[in-house]
Structure 1
Amino acid sequence: MKKPASAAPSERLESVREVLMGGGEVGALLRGMDWAATSLGPVDSWPQSLRSALSICLGSGFPIGIYWGADLVLFYNDGYIPIAGGKHPWALGRPGEEVWPEIWDGLRRSFARVMETGAATYEEDSLLLMHRHGYTEECYFNFTLSPIRGEGGRVEGVFNAVLETTYRVINARRTQVLRELAERTAVARTAREACLLTASSLGAAPLDVPFCALYLVDEKEGGARLTASSGFAPGGPSLPSVLSLEVGAPSPWPLAEVRLSGRVEQVSGLSERLGFAPPGGPWPEPSNSALVVPFLVGTGELASGFLVMGLSPRRALDEEYRQFAERAAAHVSRVMSVAAAFEEERQRAEALAELDRAKTAFFSNVSHEFRTPLTLMLGPIEDALAATEPALHGAELERVHRNGLRLLKLVNTLLDFSRIEAGRIEASFAPTDLAALTRELASTFRSAVERAGLRLRVDCEPLAQPVYVDRDMWEKIVLNLLSNALKFTFAGEISVTLRGGDSRVELTVRDTGTGIPPEELPRIFERFHRVQDARSRTHEGSGIGLALVRELVALHGGTVRVESHVGEGTAFFLSLPTGSAHLPSDRLGVSRTRVSTASGAEAYMEEALRWGRGSATESEPVRASVHPTAGARIVLADDNADMREYVARLLGAFWRVEAVADGQAALDAVLREPPELVLTDVMMPRLDGFGLLRALKADARTRMVPVILLSARAGEEAQVDGLGAGADDYLVKPFSARELLARVGARLEIARMRAGLNAELERKVRERTAQLQESNRELESFSYSVSHDLRAPLRHILGFAELLAKRTRGTLDDKSQHYVDVIAEAARKGGQLVDDLLAFSRLGRAELKRATVDLARLVDEVRADLAPEAEGRDIHWRVMALPPVQADASLLRMALKNLLSNALKYTRPRAEALIEISAEASPEEVRVHVRDNGVGFEMKYADKLFGVFQRLHAAAQFEGTGIGLANVRRIIARHGGHVWAEGAVDQGACFHFSLPHARVGASPHE
């Protein structure tokens, strides 16, 4: 191409500036190059197509390269610099083949096709092994090669838009490796298994892990043992089977140093260190660096093992590569932790199993031994009760007999469980008329059900064939279910239905009781599990009745399930297979060798009948009393009827006792007529003893009533819990009558003495309060009168000072004029102070007129009033959604005006002031927040802010009387709310206050 005549230097410079305009760093470099010395010639000779392409290139923030002419001379922009890497800026203006010799063989055909045919190409995540940072690097790119046509339509260059995807591609690959590693090692149950699986997973990823080795610390040997490896064979000087963990000991890998520091360490120069070139994975170059990563298991300070991981020779070690190694080691550490926990759990499970076996044997032995003394007790009692002439204390003997039967039932239940767990349960399955047996068992409960005001419906149709059951077990199943139904049913009915089918028979026990919450249903058959806070006729029970039902049904080859809806009732469904093929053949029709634990329906009935007793009684003294506190009223709460009657009879000899069956009834009785003492059991339905105690201590009317807790929980910890909750005394069952009477009498005497002291103290407090109120009224009247009388002279001073200033303006010297201004300003401040004092005085006397106030509208009105103070300033108001409140609108307006004026004043030093008003509502109140970005304050002065005449800044900095925030506190306090502040020096302040909710449906002037 013929070059045009040379232009003047200034013209050439102007041409270069026009063609290579902008472009940042690269643009400046291009403008400084001597293009006349290149094959492209001077800039002013370049064709318009090249100029246009360069304009697009330099003006774009996207990485773009332009290859121009036969030599494909390279131009690019600032976005392309990271792609050029270490070849920048040398690559500018050089032929593409010279810039990229390492990849040109692969690109040559693509460039030739574009230049010859004008067809664009596009590559996605294309691998290019580039040498741009001093080594051959594994790189990936999305790029397009598009033709640039000259003025004649011929392709003159190539437009290369390129995006490096190296990090995305490699990170995705490494993430997949880690994901597969996590999946494979998840099944490991030992540290060794975890290491073997990790080596296998990392060995399948040679692009990132050319080789690896995993060592585990062997505490016994005092070293680290090679557990797994990949990439090259173990053994020899490079991967010894055991490495010392002593610092300074000869070792190819610095395991001792890494163990002490707990940090990842890079090892370089592997060829010289190991004496051979380690493999580089699929790359021809050897791996010359590795990382040693510790396995940190649990909370141990020292590593439990190490991952030695070779690094790719074609990827430099960066933070992502380091994190990849750390995450791989973390997977191993996690599995090791799980393995350690698994082993610990296995040992714990073995210990618990042994403990469970010992517990089962203990319960079995103890339950069996309990039966003998119980039999010896119950026999004579029954004989005494059957005597023709009732004994003098027949009622007491009946009580002893009932509770002896209850204890026997509990002992038998424990014995059944111990036998089931030990596999020693003795069953005797015999063909039985199950319908008749079930009708008989259900009918025994009729009197207890009807006494409780309920209906019992029994529908047991005759079955086509006898059913094989153990009669004693079936008795326990049916009676437990009926007892459970009666316990939780207060209205409606209990139904028992038995139906037979081809191969199964089903028993349904349904009630219309309180129901079971859905979240409790999965645990209802767990032993010792009890539904918390469930309403029931009594809180007594072992919590194993339903668990025993499930075990006994399972022994029959059957199943049991439950359906329930809170407030509607519960239904238990038992399904037993017919025939005998499912039962152990050696237990069919055999006689028992062990004593039966069936206690019959009597024990269940006696207990259920007690639930139907009235819940409240007023006991009368049984004999005259001379106790110092005789006649004092006591509220007694216990859900066990026998215990309630026994204690009420003991206390009734000296005091008036109201006995109730649960904590809620006790609370109602106390609030109706506060007693001198409350005696309460801990475990009760509806409201337990601790709940009753909390309710009494939370109410000012009952806070001083002494409370004694009765509980079967013995031991120092139980007593500490009771006394720590606020109880005055704690009595453990069983207790003697003498101890009970002594404890109650002592507490009543202490309460009587305390009441006398409190009465005297209250009298003195009332007298002192009256004196203070009178002094306060006199002080308010004085301040009001003085403030009111000061207003007239201050107004005269201000008026005459302003008149003097107006008349003498321009005639007085500067000093005299200053004096006049000071007088006027002092009078204004004095007047403001008097007005604030009058307002402060009125706040304590003014009638509070509550109404529903639109808080958002009130804030807008106050902002409008303060507009003159904000004039000429850059103030950003941020007003959030504000709910209505119950308040005196005029007083609340004054409080808001003080707070917002305060925010305007203390943000004055800020170029941009930010004032935010927000609120949050709770069921009890609305909290309002006024936040600013002003000068703030130290939190140690937060309480001082709301005092009268209290100021944290000099008057020369911020004017004010020191009364505004005191007014705010007084206004909010009169509304029943409170006000507080938070802040930090030079970080702004936030003032908070609370107000009652606006009542739904309240009129604006209510």
Structure 2
Amino acid sequence: MYENLPFLQGGGQLGALMLNTDWSTTTVGSPDCWPESLRSAVAISLNSGFPIAIYWGYDFTLLYNDAWSAIPGQKHPWALGKPGAQVWPELWEGLQPEFESVLQDGQSYRRPDAPLYMHRFGYTEECYFDYTLSPIVAADGSVGGVFNAVIETSYKVINDRRNSVRNAFLAQAHTSATIESACEKIKVIFDQSLMDIPGYGLFIQDGQDSTAIKAILSGGLTETQLLEISKLIEDKASLEVQTGNRLDNLATNMVNPIVSYWPEPVEEAFITPISAGEASIKGYLVLLASARKRIDEDYLTFFTAIAANTGTVLNNAASAELSVAYQNELQRNAQLASELTYNEERLRKMVMAAYFPLMILEGEDFLVSIANKPLAELWNKSLNEVTGRLLLDILPELKDQAFPELLRSVYSSGLPNRQDEVEVYFLTPEGRELKYVSYSYDPLFDPNGRVNAIVVSANDITAVVKTRQLLEESHEEQQALNEEVTASNEELIASNEELAAANEELAAANEELAVTNEELSETQEQLHHTLGKLGLSEQRFRNLIREATIGIILLSGPELTVQIVNKAYGDLIGRNTDELLGKSLFDIIPEAAGAFRKVIEPVMTTGRPVSLYDQYYFVNKDDTRIEGYLNLTYQPYRETDGEVTGVLVLCQDVTAQVRDQQLLEAGERRFQFMLNSIPQQVWTALPDGKLNYVNQVVAADFGRSAEEIIGQGWEAFVHPDDLPASILGWQEALESGKEYLAEFRLRFADGAYLWHLTRAVPFVEDGNITVWLGTNTNIELQKQNEQRKDEFLSIASHELKTPLTGIKAFNQLMKRHDPSRIGVYVEKSGENIQRLEKLINDLLDVTKINAGKLTYDLKPFDFSGMLADSVESVQLTSSTHQIILEKPDQLEYNGDRLRLEQVVTNFLTNAVKYSPDANQVQINCWVEEGGVFVSVRDFGIGIQDQHIQRLFDRYYRIDNTSMRFEGLGLGLFISAEILKRHMGTFWIESEPGEGSTFYFRLPLVQNEPVEVIKKSAQYYSDTHITISKSTTGDWLEVDWTGFQNVDSVKSGGMRMLELVKTTGAHKILNDNTNVVGSWSEASDWAGEVWFPMMEQAGLKYFAWVHSPSVFSKLSAEKSVDVKQGDTEVRFFSDAKVARDWLEHLAD
């Protein structure tokens, strides 16, 4: 219909609708007559992905785009071209003033998360929107319509509210010791959640009759409605209620429809069973749905969570009621007495430490139980004259004043009373003295909710009030004198006129002239007298300001010219009064203008006073910076006609108090920082033992927020087997006030339980415990070592006893049998002696290794000859296996021949030992890449992956389910240490059921140099690694080549760090496909040092392609297990798959 109008082109569905709408029937008129401002607004909205509506003309005819079309729901597309009042009859009464203000005044509005109750899906719905209303302005400045940009925030607002309900339940999960208290807390939460749960019923099954139920908790329901709901539940129960059942059409099906919170009747409800644990409560929870929200997936999720949370609170309370009832009874009296003493002492200290007058009155006869020094000084009394006496005995003059009756009112009502600038009269030796105070009466309640004391705080403001009164009186007096001067001047003018007339008639009026002269003289005397009084009043006003101890300055006019200023103010900014008078204040201290001009000018324009507290200021004087904190009062200065002509500023220096507070807060922050910096779990608890702080280490270890951990307490994380003893020990410590020591297992975020040593000490002040400070030290490794030690001692005792038993047996046989067999027995005894000798030598070597005293004799020797000797030695003791030595290269090596022979021998004996069903062991030696390689291969049982990395640990032995092997588990540990001493490395390749190959490599040159092949800003290559910027993506391609050890890994890692920084890449493809050997010694360095450095440089994603080597693969995974930081690491077996992952990651 309007295809020739460019501004209506495009715009999706709404663009098409606008083109086919007959606009001539609307107040907007035909589009070809639309003003340019409307055309531009429509074009903007149709081409925007943001929800936009336009309300045009006096009736606010509605136009909108596709993004906005979801907002009116079922009213779309009917709403297009309709007046706003017709589209939104349910909202227009509230919206119309805003729209008309925009149209008439050009006023813009922004309403974040504004509640709007829309009728768009057949019922009144609770909705929230973040919207703006802006004028659409024509070229001539007129406003033709309203531009409405809007985002619906219903989901965010409602779900935030629902999450707060869930959090409230979580906070109460472990806080109830009885079912009754749990029900009370559940009721409080439900009663505060009526927008989402306008009614609820908690029904418990009768223990005798599982089909009978009774309501124990309800809200938003009448008794009759509760009975109807009960009947519905019984019907549901007979059908074996499952989580997620809904009750629909309640308004139709119920005789007494439910109306709660919202004016419309409730239509839907959710019913679900609750049960848990040994202390279970079985029953059903009914949750009414909001009349203004229909149950959808989000609502069901919310209801399901609330039902689960309700069951948790109830069942935890039931469990607690059973387990702690007896214990609570024993502790009750002692705990109450301790808490009372502690609270009373803490209250007394707080009162005595207050810098303002403060006291506590007990009983309705107002006994002063606690009072501080400022209060006694206010009354001109000593503390001894005040404490322990009745208020009206101390100050009988108060009986005829209002204060006793006000105190009685606080006692009877339980409501606080606060008043400012109240007159109070005190009797002094000099007579009756008037003071002005601001006071506050706050009730204290006993456990039964009755008022048993009143906290009275006061502030003596007499000086401030009198200063202000004198200023006001002086100002009024000055104004009166000004009026007298004006009147006198007028009289003088009149007299002069009369004198002139008299001179013209001089001859005829000599007597009148004399009279006039007398009147003139009197008028002049009055003028002089009035001027004198004016000067005296001005001087009194200035003297008052000059002598004030707080800074005072009077500023006038738009330039804020200094009219009056005292020395106290000048001292605050490092100036004398002569430097300030008559000048614009911010010409003298321009550096203060930014902070204070914006405060002063509104006082002058609005006439409303302003007060600021603890306000920071600074000014410059020569080369000195003067700074501090002020309490400021800005008072408008008015003339007699009420006109504000200036601002009177009162400045009280509070720098010392503010800095003391800052030091206190800084100390608290430093203490928190210190506790969070300690690399172990640190916590504090209240005197009653309740946890009230945990440091960040605790939160990180448990994978929970500090608030969750504090709410749950340690009990939720201690191993169930350790919990009873730990609770008992903690209770004993709380009762005795002595140090608490315990060992128990704590559950970490990954579900693993680790042993910890817990120590807590009480902090005692004035004989009372104020806080418990505790630490949890991880002793898991110590526990494991203890277990290994015990296992080792058991093994060692067995292994050492076995050859001794054999020797003893053969000696007995030699005594009993034919001498011709002595040779055989001697040979067998000798074998047992050799076995015993080996065990003892292994133990001695371990001892030397631990002490750093294992000696090495490094010198050149025939390496291939050493291998041959080792093979021959082991072959002599093995009749079941043929040990095949592939012809090694002739090689001279610089090292300890005997120690390296010990390594080879150990590898060979293990190969024989762990391949009992095989008959062959292969040993090979070759030189490659600057090192000598040795491999020992067996065809035995093989080794599982979980055992491979631990084989070289001290005392570690593999126990096969079908056989056990002798030895102390020290051989490979000793071999590993010998190889490390020679700068060598080792690794294993194994396949369970097929055998294992043990490798080691010894460098032919110590500190092998890295040969750099090519290096640039985006490329690096050496003998171990190649790094390049990908040509198809924004990542680095890294290819490791050949044998890798600790040094080569660290060198390559630092090269990668350099290129991440220079190229800005935040993704890496780390390809280990061509890696030979293992770099397990670098695992911890990679995870704990290198990954954090890379993350700081910008690394976000790390694709790791495994080496074919099992040992290398396990080492890589170990480095990720100990990795610190948030870099995402994924392992791949195919480099192409790894590249695909990197390519599809969003930047």
Does TM, scored on the shorter chain, surpass 0.5? no
TM-score after normalising by structure 1: 0.41
Pick the structure with more strand per residue: 2
